[in-house]
Structure formats: C-alpha cells, structure tokens
Amino acid sequence: MDIRCTDKEMILLNKVANAAERLGMETYLIGGFVRDKLLGRATKDADIVCIGDGIELAKETAKQFTPVPQVDYFKTYGTAHIAISTDFDIEFVGARKESYRSDSRNPEVLPGTMKDDQDRRDFTINALAISLNIADFGELIDPFDGVKDLQDKIIRTPLEPAKTFSDDPLRMMRAIRFATQLNFVIEETTWQGIIDNAHRIKIITQERITDELNKIVAADTPSRGFDLLYKSGLLQLIFPAMVELAGAEYKDGHGHKDNFYHTLQVLDNLSANTNDLWLRWAAILHDIAKPATKRFEEGHGWTFHGHEAVGGRMVPKIFTKLKLPQNEKMRLVRKLVELHLRPISLTKENITDSAIRRLLFDAGEDFDALMMLCEADITSKNKQKVKRFLENFQLVRQRCKEVEAKDHVRNWQPPVTGEIIMETFGIPPSKQVGIIKDALKEAMLDGLIPNEYAAAFELMLEKGKELGLKVVKS
C-alpha cells in the first residue's frame, strides 16, 4: 500500500516538520489521514501527535504560513486546531497515556510516549503513524499490523477489546461505523467485546451517540450498520423504538413481514438515490408506528391501520430523545412519514383531480422527496410486482405534473389573502377570517373555482355574506 500525498499536503506536512525541528520535538502524522491515504480515500484533516506540547507546536506551525492562521487551543486537553483552508484542518496534541474509571468516560490524562499514544487508539487501522522527523521523515510506524488489517478489511482493537471498549464505550459504535463506511468485517474477538460491553454505552452522552448514528445513516449502505447495531445489542439501548419493528408474527396462517429488515431495505433503496440525511431518516421512521398499530383481524390477517398518522406524531418525540434538530428538518421527516401511503392510493383507477391536488398541496415543495420514499418502499422479491408498482408511481408522477401545470398547487398561496378579507369586511384577525380562507382553499382543491384572484374574491364575498359580514371596502 502506498501513501500518496498531493503537492499541497506535502507542503503542509513539511511546514509541520520544520516547526517540530525548530522546537526539537518528535512529531508524527497519525490516525485517519494515514488510514485514508493508504485506502486511496479523500482526506479533509490531519492529526499531528508530538512528544511534548501540542499547543506550542501548533503555534510554531502557524508561523510558517502567510498570513498566519488563527490557532484555536484547549489548554485543559492540551489540543490545538488550525483551519488551513475552508476544506482542510490540522489537529495537534501531545502524546499521552490515559486511564479511566468504570463510571466515567472522562480519562485521567498524563504525558506519554509514542507507544503510549498508539496503545490508546481505538483500532489498529487508526493507530498507523508516519514520522515527520528529519532523520526518518515519511517512515510508517505500524505496531499492530494495521496495514495488514487494511488489506484484509478487518476492524480490530490494538489492545484487549474489553479494555478498549470499557475505556471509551463510543468506540463500539465507531467500530460499527467504520465497518459500515469501509465495508470491513469486525474481527471475532473485537465483535464479542462489543456484545459483552454494549451496556457501557449508557455512560455516553446522547449527542455523541447520535453523531455516530448519523454517520452510519449517511453511509453508502446504512443497513449494514443498523444490522450490526441490532445484533450487538447496542440498538436496543440507543434506539429501542426501532428494535420493536423486528420479527414476524404468524396467526391462523397469516403472517406479516419483519418490519425491521423491511425498513433497512427501504433505507438502502433510498440511499442509492440520495445523500440527504433527513430523507434517510424519513425512511428509517416511515413504519415506526407499526408495532403500536398492529392488530389481527379475523379472516383478514394483520393490519397496521393509521400507522402513518401515529408515526408522524412519534417523530418529534424521537427527534427529542435522539437530540436531533427540532426544526424544519424534523418537520420534513414528519410530513414524509404522514404522507408516505398517499401516493399508493392514487395508483387506483378513476382518481380525481381533487385527490391529486390535495396530495400536491400537502406535499408542497417536498413532493419529489415523497415520491422517492414511496418508490424506495417497494421491497417485494417479486420482480414483476416491483415493476408494476414503479410503473404505477410513474403514472402518479405524470398525473401530478399535468394537474400542477394547470392549477399551480405545489407552492400554493391564496389569491385572496387574510389582509384582503379583513380590509373588505372591516374586521380584525378572527375565526371568521380563518373560516373564509379555509373555504377558499377547499374550493380550489376540489376544483370548484380556479386558482385565480377574481373567482376567489367572488367566493370570499359569498362566504362573508353567509357569516353575516358586510362589505366596507370593495
């Protein structure tokens, strides 16, 4: 395996090496940069470890640049950071050794040797280092056969897995995240260490857990990570609502599919077409309420009536628990969960333009995202059935396109606003204004009036008269 740095990266590393030489510090490039270079992956940051004061080395390195970049440092942890450009950062830290208490994620940190620093790394593939010292510049230091593990596509801890994971339980999720991102296998004793120490994840903050979870969600094949989280016992602790989807139940010859693995298939299907994190979360949560709505109906089988509406109500609570944002991202996921069954109902014959308008109105600018989720939701192993469903969805898209071209519903704004209603009848903001606005919207969606000002104004006058309002300004 070769390490091939760009010209810019070599200039940067030489500046660090020169700074280290001036200070008389042993200095090494370590971790993700080395790993990703050996794998031929793009790199956005570099970690530098020195035998000495990392903050001092960062400040000396900054002096090598014109203009001198800002050095952000954290004295408590002995770390420093320089943003070299908008797309490349360098982190500096002094080599250290760590010891942990069983009830805390925060280590007691002491200055250490290069060996101490590599011993405390999470995985062999992240313990690889390259010397930046003048005497042996560019030499690879690989005490745990990390290069072989890269070649064999294995995730393995450098020390006893129980110690590595007990010290920092988040490393269990990181093992699964790297296995997912790199399509590697977790080595057997390391995997058993995750199973044995899964309970330790409880001492990790939700923010750090969710950060790792999002990285798994963002992987090319996220199902791999969720399957490993489930089989290790971690998912049961960090996301029990998703685990409740697992398993198929049979009664009187009727069974339902395993909704956990169905969800993973939907997630992979969607991920093949979009990198949008929040659309992927919509895939994860689209059936989340099936356990709560599962019923057995005699002579019919298993049903999940209303799971889309119940699931929509669950989304804000799940986002709160996972410390995901309570903003338009959450509202998008909730909308997609609530609407994900609507397009399938429009594949039937003789669907009215009114039903199409209502879908366009409710989905708004997220219509294309909704259709992408619906198409991903087809997980049948019957290729003919899949083909038929996809063709039906294409017909829905076409119908929606035709109605939208005619009625402009997706980003609908009422031709007659609340301000116009209040001015016309001389009334303040009130329930009556809302009643008239709703009547205008319903009439437009039902096709009773076109989406035009004159027709809407005329209907407004009629509704105002029904409510006993008098025109004060025509």
Q: Higher confidence at residue 180 or residue 77?
A: 180
What average pLDDT does range 261-280 have in this prediction?
A: 97
Residue 8's pLDDT is what?
87
What average pLDDT does range 109-137 have in this prediction?
A: 90
Residue 103's pLDDT is what?
58
Residue 431's pLDDT is what?
94
**pLDDT tens digits for 22-53?**
999 999 999 999 999 999 998 889 999 999 99
Residue 104 reports pLDDT greater than 70: no
Q: pLDDT exceeding 70 applies to what percent of the chain?
A: 95
Residue 154 reports pLDDT greater than 70: yes
3-state secondary structure the chain: CCCCCCHHHHHHHHHHHHHHHHHCCCEEEECHHHHHHHHCCCCCEEEEEECCCHHHHHHHHHCCCCCCCCEEEECCCCEEEEEEECCEEEEEEECEEEECCCCCCCCEEEECCHHHHHHCCCCHHHCCEEECCHHHCCCEECCCCHHHHHHHCEECCCCCHHHHHHHCCHHHHHHHHHHHHHCCEECHHHHHHHHHHHHHHHHCCHHHHHHHHHHHHCCCCHHHHHHHHHHHCHHHHHCHHHHCCCCCCEECCEECCCHHHHHHHHHHHHHCCCCCHHHHHHHHHCCCCHHHHCEEECCCEEECCCHHHHHHHHHHHHHHHCCCCCCHHHHHHHHHHHHCCHHHHCCCCCCCHHHHHHHHHHHHHHHHHHHHHHHHCCCCCCHHHHHHHHHHHHHHHHHHHHHHHHHCCCCCCCCCCHHHHHHHHCCCCCHHHHHHHHHHHHHHHCCCCCCCHHHHHHHHHHHHHHCCCCCCCC
Q: pLDDT exceeding 90 applies to what percent of the chain?
A: 69
Residue 2's pLDDT is what?
63
Residue 331 reports pLDDT greater than 70: yes
Residue 252's pLDDT is what?
56
Residue 471 reports pLDDT greater than 80: yes
**pLDDT tens digits for 343-375?**
988 877 667 888 899 999 999 999 999 999 999
Residue 105 reports pLDDT greater than 80: no
Under CATH, which number does the domain 153-238 receive? 1.10.110.30
Q: Higher confidence at residue 4 or residue 436?
A: 436
CATH topology of domain 7-150: Beta Polymerase; domain 2 (3.30.460)
What average pLDDT does range 205-229 have in this prediction?
A: 98
Residue 407's pLDDT is what?
79
Domain boundaries, the chain: 7-150, 153-238, 418-466
Residue 325 reports pLDDT greater than 90: yes
Residue 100 reports pLDDT greater than 70: no
**301 confidence band (pLDDT: 50, 70, 90):** confident
